[in-house]
Structure 1
Amino acid sequence: MKGVLFVNLGSPDSTDPKDVKKYLDEFLMDERVIDVPYLLRAFLVKGIILNTRPKKSAAAYKKIWWDEGSPLIVLSERLQEKVQEQVSVPVALAMRYGNPSIESGLQELANKGVTEVLLVPLYPQFAMATTETILVLAEKIRLKKFPQMSFTELPAFYNHPDYVRVLSTSIADELKGKKWDYLLFSYHGVPERHIKKSDITKSHCQIDGQCCKTPSPAHQFCYRHQCYETTRQVVEFLGLKEGTYSTSFQSRLGRDPWLQPYTDATIESLAHKGIKNLAVVTPAFVSDCLETLEEIGMEGAEEFKEAGGNEFYTIPCLNDREDWIKVLARWVDQWALTPQEA
């Protein structure tokens, strides 16, 4: 029997600093998030970050928390429930960090007799710290707890025509009737070394402005290329004029070089250049979360207006839009149909 497991990032169980600390511990101790030797990672995370960051992060979560709970969890649950209504195979939900866990999601499917699982990391672009860590942990759990199961992985869908169409339509819908001068595509940031570590050719990725435009097998796992390609295809779909859009990266941590240009600096720079009405879309996420609601929707808006801007529009993630639900349901159905049934 076939079934589907959607996997998103995750969230603390509450805005209590203790829950936030527990979540950050699991998140930051992931070797694919902070990819340094274990002892150094433990020193940085447990010895430094977890002594200061939980209270600050808890305060940020409180700003965006809903009555029903974490926006990311609530929106992911709505997505799972709506897709389930449109497909005939069981659909479960899990988070890479926090609850519900990947193990609990697989157990839910196993209890329904599922032996073939379509793993769907809810990230359009592939990255070590997102898609890869989900697939690695899921396989580890499968081997240990569910050896009777087999996995099929949904590839990164950053350039899939269905995704590009739905993302583009969501942007157009949100900006309809609004006066805007510039559209910023803000993607979650990763350290530059992650890009080079993911380069299967071991030589293509130079992060020099040209490698992402030059065809290469490395692009299959290159987060930077996939972000720029998402932007390019959406720009083409919407017919945006040169000079009215750009791409940036947010949420950097530590002193190592991360992907640039940085979103916060870009927002401030655009205001200083005379952009008065700015719209920001966050295509690295399919569900609104702390990074979209607080970092962009609140901090970004404040930075823009303090630098001289007027209107700041945050374009929601795809969340549980009906056209996005239909796309996911169609992808599930295409996988679930065996050749004999097709």
Structure 2
Amino acid sequence: MKGALLINLGSPNSTSVKDVRNYLDEFLMDEYVIDKPYIFRALLVKGIILNTRPKKSAAAYKKIWWDEGSPLIVLSERLHEKVKKQVDIPVELAMRYGKPSLKSGIQKLVDQGVTEIYLVPLYPQFAMASTETILALADKLVKKYFPQVTLNDLPAFYNRPDYIEALSESIQKSLDTAKPEHLLFSYHGLPERHIRKSDVTKSHCKLDGSCCNTPSPAHEFCYRHQCYETTKLVAEKLNLKEDFYSVSFQSRLGRDPWIKPYTDFVIDDLAKDGLKNLAVVTPAFVSDCLETLEEIGMEAKASFIENGGEEFTAIPCLNEDEKWIKTLSNWINTWAEK
């Protein structure tokens, strides 16, 4: 019997400093997120980051927390409920970090008689710190606890026409309302070393400005290429002029070089250059979360206005968009019918 498991990033259980610390501990100690030797990672995370960051992060979560709980969890649950109604096999929801855990999601499917699971990472673009860590943990859990289960997974869907259509239509709605002078595609950032580590050719990803545009097998797992490809396909779909949009990367951590350009720098420069009306979309996420609601919707907006901007629109993620729900459901149904 087949079943599907929707998997998102996760969230603290509450906005308390303790819960945020526990969440950050699980998240940052993941070897696919901070890909350093265990001792170094433990010294950095437990010795430094967890002594300073939880209080600041808890304050940020408080700004965006809903009465029902974490926006990311609530939106993921709503998505799950709507997808369930449109598919013909059992579907459950899990988070890579926090609750509901990946193990509990697999267990719920097994309890319904499922022996073949379709893993659906809710990340359009592939990255070590998102898709790969989900697949690695799921494989580990199945081998240890569920040996009767086989796994399949949905590949990165950054360039699938039905996804691009859903994303483009959702963006167009905001553009029609806000009528911005410029549209910024802001993707979650990654350390440059993650891009090189994911390069199956071990030589293509030079981050020199041209490698993402030069055809290569490396692109199957290249996050940066996939972000630019998503942008290009949306721009083509919406007939956007080249000078109307640009790409940047947000959410840096630590001192190592991350992929550029940096969103905060780009937004400030646009304002200083006289831009008055800016819209920002965040297509690395399918559900609004801390990085979209607080980092972009609050912090980036305040900085844009401080530097001379006037109108700022944070375009919502796909969330519960009907076309997105139908698209996701179709993918699951197509797999189930094989």
SS of residue in 1 equivalent to 2:248: strand
Is 1:186–2:207 an aligned residue pair?
no
* C-alpha displacement of 1:88: 1.3
Displacement over 4 Å in runs of 4+: none
Query: 2:192·2:259 contact (CA, 8 Å) conserved in 1?
Result: yes
Q: Distance in 2 between matches of 1:303 and 1:316?
A: 19
Which letter does structure 2 place at the counterpart of 1:268?
Answer: D
Is 1:137–2:137 an aligned residue pair?
yes
Q: Distance in 2 between matches of 1:179 and 1:222?
A: 32
Deviations 1:83-142 (A, max 9, x none): 001111000000000000000000000000000100000000000000000000000000
Alignment of 1:1-342 (within 5 A): 1-338=1-338
* C-alpha displacement of 1:210: 0.3
Which letter does structure 1 place at the counterpart of 2:50?
Answer: L
SS of residue in 1 equivalent to 2:177: coil
Deviations 1:317-342 (A, max 9, x none): 0011111000011001100113xxxx
SS of residue in 1 equivalent to 2:242: coil
SS of residue in 2 equivalent to 1:176: helix
Deviations 1:156-188 (A, max 9, x none): 000000111100000001221323100000000
SS of residue in 1 equivalent to 2:178: coil
SS of residue in 2 equivalent to 1:131: helix
SS of residue in 2 equivalent to 1:168: helix
Query: 2:165·2:237 contact (CA, 8 Å) conserved in 1?
Result: yes
Which letter does structure 1 place at the counterpart of 2:300?
Answer: G
Which letter does structure 1 place at the counterpart of 2:278?
Answer: L
Which letter does structure 1 place at the counterpart of 2:283?
Answer: P
Which letter does structure 2 place at the counterpart of 1:53?
Answer: R
Q: Distance in 2 between matches of 1:178 and 1:148?
A: 52
SS of residue in 1 equivalent to 2:85: helix
Q: Distance in 1 between matches of 2:178 and 2:119?
A: 38
RMSD: 0.5
Q: Distance in 1 between matches of 2:86 and 2:198?
A: 35
Q: Distance in 2 between matches of 1:316 and 1:179?
A: 15
Q: Distance in 2 between matches of 1:336 and 1:178?
A: 40
Q: Distance in 2 between matches of 1:196 and 1:103?
A: 30
SS of residue in 1 equivalent to 2:138: helix
Which letter does structure 2 place at the counterpart of 1:61?
Answer: Y
Between 120-129 and 171-180, report the one with greater CA deviation.
171-180
Deviations 1:235-268 (A, max 9, x none): 1111111211100000000110000000000000
TM-score normalised to the size of structure 1? 0.98
SS of residue in 1 equivalent to 2:193: helix
Q: Distance in 2 between matches of 1:86 and 1:132?
A: 27
Query: 2:185·2:281 contact (CA, 8 Å) conserved in 1?
Result: yes
Q: How many residues align?
A: 338
TM-score normalised to the size of structure 2? 0.99
Q: Distance in 2 between matches of 1:64 and 1:22?
A: 19
Unaligned stretches of 5+ residues in structure 1: none
SS of residue in 1 equivalent to 2:314: strand
Which letter does structure 2 place at the counterpart of 1:275?
Answer: L
Which letter does structure 1 place at the counterpart of 2:165?
Answer: R
SS of residue in 1 equivalent to 2:247: strand
What percentage of residue pairs aligned between the two structures are identical?
A: 70
Q: Distance in 1 between matches of 2:36 and 2:242?
A: 40
Q: Distance in 1 between matches of 2:240 and 2:276?
A: 18
Which letter does structure 1 place at the counterpart of 2:315?
Answer: I
Q: Distance in 2 between matches of 1:209 and 1:178?
A: 31
